[in-house]
Amino acid sequence: MFNIQKAVSRLEYAPKLTEIEVTDIKKGLAVFTPKPDKTVSFASLKNNLKQAGYTLASADITINGKLSQESGKWFVASETSGQKFALEGKNAAAIVGTTGDTVEITGFWTTAGKAPATYESIDPQAITPKAAVAPAINGLTFIRANFAPEQGAAAASENESSSKPPAPIRTTSPGLTVFKGGAFTPRIYFVKQHLGGLDVWRQIGDLSLSYTPSPHVQFELEVPFSRTSFDDGANKDSSAGLGNIMFWTKYRFFRVVKTYGDRQASARFGVELPTGKKTAPTAEEVDARAFVRQQLTPISGGFAPHFDISFSQAGGRFIFGGNIEGVLRTERDGFRMGHELRLNTDLEYVLFPRNYKKPGGELFAILESTFLTRSSGRLNGAVAPESSSTEYYLSPGLQYAAHPRFVVEGSIQLPVFRNAGTQVLRTDYNLLLGVRYLF
């Protein structure tokens, strides 16, 4: 729904984004008061909504102004902008008054004619004399838009239906975050791992910044920072450092939307740069083999391309999605983990509110799953024995959309199945806490 407000706010005559009110999501109703000194256009409103993936079905407009008659045709001119609106339709001649009267007119609004000779037209439904109008009302009072998702709209931007959050928590979303804007997503992970008598704790801060320049493409920068502490029973120590920075490009190639839901798919390509701290603890600092000690750094190797395909389907209170991702890892100073194949799924349900009218205040129950298979890693130019793994995790979580632009989320990832070699750290849990802010 933030996309509707964002699309309207880009109009020259639109007010601030916070002054555009969505009054009924299911029926697709929104209200705003244009800037008083600007001319308005139904056609431009319709076009902006279309770019965001919605069809403007109709719009009502209320105007305070003076009536005039030219060549047998009635007009009303806004008191503030001076813009003229032709009064047309079966009711026009029957309900208008006398030339020069100051009135408040409410009616169905459209842009009529063909370019370049287009004009704004109103089919009046009610006219109130100025004497009966409250003094505070002046000029162009409000526009009430009735919109609906555009069928077959591949040129839509994020959302992810009117009631849905920007994205799932751990599963890649095919959405583009926001219509011609971006998102800032800080997250922190608390991870517990072990291998034999070695216990490992990680605190990972991840800052993500995304930008959507068009209805099809999104760019994202991801910067992780990690602190790792360990205890092998004899020694305790910790270290901290930057992880590998990621650059992502996403292209949404499919979208079909309907009222209160949609389906979409995207392809994503990312590159993991060798920027992270690579110095591992020595054998004197931790009693473990060299390949295991390398896993105590913030990195899994050097340069690594990522390939990702994602899909989601939303309808009513349910959302289902999934993605498959492949990672090809290269060595850095003789070390890398194995190549990876990941399959994630996402199931969401809107818990509250039960009677949904306006965006904001939604609470989502989320259950995600991750299947991971990893090939053998390498150390000093040779294959590391017992370094492959196959794992399956479930991640229950909650997501609260405090505002259409602000989301708070949390999720804990727990192992269901692990078949890992003797040189692979086992993850006991992975707790994620984060927020998202759209701009």
Same domain, 189 and 121: no
Q: Where are the beta strands (DSSP E) in 101-197?
A: 102-112, 119-129, 140-149, 182-195
> Do 41 and 131 share a domain, yes or no?
yes
What total number of domains does the chain contain? Answer: 2
Q: What's the rounded Cα separation, in Å, for the pair 281 and 238?
A: 9
Find the CATH number of the domain harbouring 331: 2.40.160.40
Give the Å distances, CA to CA, from 407 to 154, 161, 195, 316, 403: 26, 16, 36, 20, 7
How do 362-374 and 340-352 pair as beta strands? antiparallel
**C-alpha pair distances (Å), 411 with each of 22, 311, 418, 439:** 30, 21, 20, 24
Alpha-carbon span 135 to 51, nearest angstrom = 38
Q: Are 208 and 291 part of one and the same domain?
A: yes
410 in a structural domain? yes
Question: Residue 175: inside a domain, yes or no?
Answer: no
**Tell me: the pLDDT tens digits for 171-225?**
999 987 655 678 899 999 999 999 999 999 999 999 999 998 887 899 999 999 9
Q: What is the mean pLDDT of residues 26-35?
A: 78
122 plus 233 within the same structural domain:
no
Q: Is residue 159 included in any domain, yes or no?
A: no
- Supply φ then ψ for residue 130, to 5 degrees: -60, -35
Q: What is the mean pLDDT of residues 278-292?
A: 95
What percent of the chain lies above the pLDDT cut of 90? 53
Element (H, E) at 374: strand 362-374
> Do the domain assignments include residue 111?
yes
Quote the pLDDT of residue 426.
97
What is the identity of the amino acid at 262?
D
Is the residue at 165 inside a domain? no
- Name the domain boundary from 107, 126, 149: 149
224/338 same-domain check: yes
271 and 349 fall within a common domain: yes
Q: Which amino acid is at 359?
A: P
176 within a domain of the structure (yes/no)? no
With beta carbons less than 8 A apart as the criterion, state whether 81 and 139 touch: yes
Q: Which of 100, 131, 149 is the last residue before a domain boundary?
A: 149
Q: Diameter of the chain by CA atoms?
A: 98
Residues 377 and 242 in one domain: yes
- Closest by CA position to 152, among listed 255, 46, 4, 262: 255
- Short-list 325, 405, 398, CA closest to 363: 398
User: DSSP letters of 402-417?
Assistant: EETTEEEEEEEEEEEE
Q: For residues 295 and 278, is the Cβ–Cβ distance under 8 A?
A: no
Q: Are residues 33 and 141 in the same domain?
A: yes
Please indicate, yes or no, whether residues 116 and 224 belong to a single structural domain of this protein. Answer: no
User: In the listed set 130, 149, 168, which residue is the last one of a domain according to the structure?
Assistant: 149
pLDDT in tens, 107-166: 889 999 888 889 999 988 888 876 544 443 345 556 667 665 544 333 333 333 344 445
Q: Judge if 232 and 354 occupy the same domain.
A: yes
Query: Domain containing 323: what range?
Result: 182-438
The mean pLDDT value for 283-310 works out to: 96
Question: Within this chain, do residues 57 and 119 fall inside the same structural domain, yes or no?
Answer: yes
Task: Return the pLDDT at 47.
Answer: 85
119 and 205 belong to one structural domain: no
